[in-house]
Amino acid sequence: MAHAIIEYSANMEAKIDLDGLIDCIHAACIETGVFPLSGMRTRAARRDHFKLADGNPDAGFFHLVLKIGPGREEEVKLNAMNHIFDAFHDFIKPVFETSPMLTSIEVFELPPELRINKNHIKEYLEPEATAAE
């Protein structure tokens, strides 16, 4: 069970390859070893209604929300967060350097008693893909 949710201002759609960004974040999450492939879900959520700083209509934002199950040490979570944020910033660098933009990231642990997961995705994955989990 792992989620990466990319919230973004609608005005970023014309500037960023969103499918590429989703691929980038998904891969970065898996690279950390913290987010299991069989439970990884990455998605983007466009925000049409927003106001940033002084209201400049060219200003945009990206906010990454990472959700994981409990049990990892703080250093492991921090390293994973930094790796993902670095990969994200490498991807958006051309736009970040030329557009007013706010970026952020948060990591949340989801307690097992307050969630229900039911899936069988491992049955559809290649055996070597889940061997590392």
Question: What CATH number does the domain containing 106 carry?
Answer: 3.30.429.10
> Rg for the chain (alpha carbons), in Å?
16
- Tens digit of each residue's pLDDT (9 = 90 or more) over 30-62: 999 999 898 899 999 999 999 999 999 999 999
Q: Give the domain extent around 123.
A: 2-131
Which pLDDT band, with edges at 50, 70 and 90, does 84 fall under? very high
**Cβ burial 23-49 (10 Å sphere, 16+ → b, else e):** ebbbebbbebebbbbbbbebebeeeee
> What would the two tokens of residue 124 be?
């559809």
Number of domains observed in the structure of the chain: 1
Q: Kindly give, in sequence order, each residue whose CB lies less than 8 Å from that of residue 25, ignoring residues fewer than 6 positions away.
A: 4, 6, 42, 64, 84, 87, 88
Predicted confidence (pLDDT) at residue 28 exceeds the cutoff of 80: yes
Distance of CA 46 to the CA centre of its chain: 14
